[in-house]
Amino acid sequence: MTTHFISAEVDLHDTAEELHSAIEIELQKHGEPLRWAVTDVDVDRQKAVVEGYVLVEASPAIA
């Protein structure tokens, strides 16, 4: 098991709940979300800047 720091951009949504779900889905591409926050919003591009940690249960296979 390892913990990893992830930063990502996520499209803003109509509601904060939808944004919450979109962030979790984005972080799940890298592992299980452990802690995250929107740190800023690019209003012009309608993107939320997200930083967080994910948990990876096993080391990913090397391609």
Partner 1 sequence: MNRRPLTVVLIVPTGVGASIGGFAGDALPVARAIAQVSDTLITHPNVLNGAQLYWPIPNALYVEGYALDKFAAGCWGLQPVHQNRIGLILDAGIEPDLQLRHLQAVDAARATLGLNITDWVLTDRPLQVELRISQSGASWGTIGNPDSLLRAAEKLIKQARVEAIAVVARFPDDEGSLALENYRRGKGVDPLAGAEAVISHLVVRTFKIPCAHAPALSALPLDPHLSPRSAAEEIGYTFLPCVLAGLSKAPQFVTPTVGHASCLSQVLGGQDARTQVLGGQDARTQLLGGQDAHPTREQFYANRRDFESQDLWADRVDAVVIPATACGGSAILSLSGRSSVQIIAVGDNKTQMQATPEKLGIKALQVNSYLEAIGVLVAKRAGISPASLGADISSLRRLPD
Applying CB under 8 A, the residues found at the interface with partner 1 are 1-5, 7, 12, 14-17, 19-21, 23-25, 28, 32-41, 43, 48-51, 53, 55-58, 60
Task: Pick the closer one to partner 1 by CB: 5 or 63.
Answer: 5
Do 24 and 11 contact (CB within 8 A), yes or no?
no
Q: How far is the CB of 62 from partner 1 (least distance, A)?
A: 14
Task: Pick the closer one to partner 1 by CB: 57 or 63.
Answer: 57
DSSP codes joined into one string, 6-48: EEEEEE--SSHHHHHHHHHHHHHTTSEEEEEEEEEEETTTTEE
